[in-house]
Amino acid sequence: MARSLITLPVSVPRGQVFTVRVLLQHPMEGGFRVGADGRVLPRDIVRRFRCLYDGEAVIEAELFPAIAANPFLEFSVRAADSGSLLFVWEGDHGFYQREQRSVVVT
């Protein structure tokens, strides 16, 4: 299980825009490098990231081989109702990671 670091405020006033930062531990091997044995290292990247706010997609991102290891994303969300933010990363070789955080709207 990969590790992730998700930063968001614990509580936000209704209607306010807040910042969410997500950092995921992943090698993002581009598929072009040669390993110590002379073979090309197979591509192993995160291809897609989604964030759902109470089931509604607030951001969807496609990731590509030229993105550095441990991809970091920052985006803004407008606070509507108290609820949960669901973070989903999908990638090569069946990589799948989901994390959930709750946000309190005051």
Binding site for other proteins (CB under 8 A): 3-5, 7, 21, 23, 25, 27-28, 68-70, 72
Specify whether the CB–CB gap between 50 and 40 falls below 8 A: no
Question: Which amino acid is present at 82?
Answer: S
User: What's the closest the beta carbon of residue 7 comes to other proteins, in angstroms?
Assistant: 4
Place of tokens 């990731």: 63
**Shortest Å, Cβ 25 to other proteins:** 4
Q: Which is nearer to other proteins, 3 or 98 (CB)?
A: 3
- Pick the closest to residue 78 from 54, 98, 46, 94 (CA basis): 54
| Residue 23 vs 88, nearer CB to other proteins | 23
Q: Smallest distance, Å, CB 39 to other proteins?
A: 19
- 95-105 and 46-53 beta bridge pairing: unpaired
